[in-house]
Structure 1
Amino acid sequence: MNASLNTPPPKLKSVSSGFTLIELMVTIAVLAIIAAIATPSISIQLANQRVKSTAVILANALKEARVESTIRRQDITFSYDNDGDDAGKIEIENGNGMIATYQYDANSTITSTASQIEFKPSRTVDAMVYTICDSNASASPRQVVITAIANISSQLGGSC
């Protein structure tokens, strides 16, 4: 009787718990495949975000130039410069000097038919379409449109 009491039943025998090396390697391989699939879409999302951010900065600078022209009752010059490797620069100035400057990401470029426009106190300006592109060609370009009566809007579109 004592011999049967000293041997544990089959269910209570020690069971090894943990993962085998093969199970761990399979898990890591699956994670690597998922990461490889997700990486390109993440870089495109980042590029689209840079374009959108630059479009917002451009629209805000245009709105500030329009308001300053009305408040000061003088012509206000708006200009931009894609500085190549450095961050791009937007400048708002009147005849007396600089009013405001903005910077945008170096990977973003702004294009239009003219790099400078002039806001009149009568709330008029030469109509212009600015196209914002990114160094990543897969990013969707955006356009900031300013009408002759200084209405400013942003939309998807354009070509780089």
Structure 2
Amino acid sequence: MQKNKGFTLIELMVTIAVLVIVAMMAAPNMMQLVYKKQLETEARDLAMTLSNVRGTAVSLRKDISLEFKNQENTGDKFYWDTTRSTVHVLAKGLPEGITFTPTGLAKKRTTAIRKLVNNPGYKADLPEMVPFV
């Protein structure tokens, strides 16, 4: 007598049903992971921009203002205007701005918040005249 090797149609259907159920449970967690990684990337970009502006303020020995513009469907724009006594840097994504002094200190109190769907977001609260590291 020969033993049959393989799966029956019922076994395959049950296996597929179990895989679909597991995939449906994992999908919301994957979206949370995607949102979290996007938020972490934006926070890292903001930290690098702030560090760059602070370093430029120290090296040029001028007040440098970083303005946050919220324009949809545009790339990040960063430029230095050194012809004036105050240098302006433009970026996008946040509603307020921050000014660094030549000593590397934040000139005004500022709060920057970035939120994504179903995520609390990051908050950076810089008190007046505090070194930014």
Name the TM-score, length of structure 2 as normaliser.
Answer: 0.81
3-state SS of paired residue (1:145): strand
The answer as to whether partners of 2:81 and 2:88 remain within 8 angstroms in 1 is yes
**Contact (CA 8 Å) 1:59, 1:144: kept in 2 or not?**
no
User: Are 1:54 and 2:36 counterparts?
Assistant: no
* CA–CA separation in structure 2 for the residues paired with 1:65 and 1:82: 19
Distance 1:76 1:22, change over 3 A: same
Instruction: Provide the identity percentage.
Output: 24
Aligned twin of 2:131:
150
Which ranges in structure 2 are unaligned for 5 or more consecutive residues?
none
> Shift in Å at residue 22 of structure 1?
0.5
Structure 1, residues 55-88: CA drift from partner, whole Å, max 9, x if none? 110111011111100011112121122222x256
Cα RMSD after superposing both structures: 2.5
For 1:158, the equivalent position in structure 2 comes to none
2:69 pairs with one of 66, 77, 81: 81
Larger % of strand: which? Answer: 1
User: d(CA) in 2 for partners of 1:145 and 1:91?
Assistant: 22
Q: Using a 3 Å threshold, how does the CA distance of structure 1 residues 146 and 92 change in structure 2: closer, same or farther?
A: farther
Is the alpha carbon distance of 1:47 and 1:131 closer, same or farther for their aligned partners in structure 2, counting shifts above 3 Å? same
Mapped to 2, the partners of 1:25 and 1:75 lie a distance apart of 68
Structure 1 window deviating more from structure 2 (62-71 vs 120-129): it is: 120-129
Matched residue count: 129
Judged with a 3 Å threshold, the aligned counterparts in structure 2 of structure 1 residues 91 and 146 are, in CA distance, closer, same or farther, namely farther
Identify which of 89, 93, 96 aligns with 2:83: 96
- Of 106, 120, 128, which aligns to 1:140? 120
Matched-pair contact (CA < 8 Å) for 2:68–2:90 = no
Determine whether 1:122 maps to 2:118: no
* Contact residue 65 and residue 92 of structure 1 kept, 8 A: no
User: Counterpart of 1:89 in 2: which secondary structure?
Assistant: coil
Superposed displacement of residue 151, structure 1? 1.9
Aligned to 1:70: 58
Moved over 6 A (4+): 97-103
Q: Which structure is larger by alpha-carbon Rg, 1 or 2? A: 1
CA contact (8 A) 1:92 1:100 kept: yes
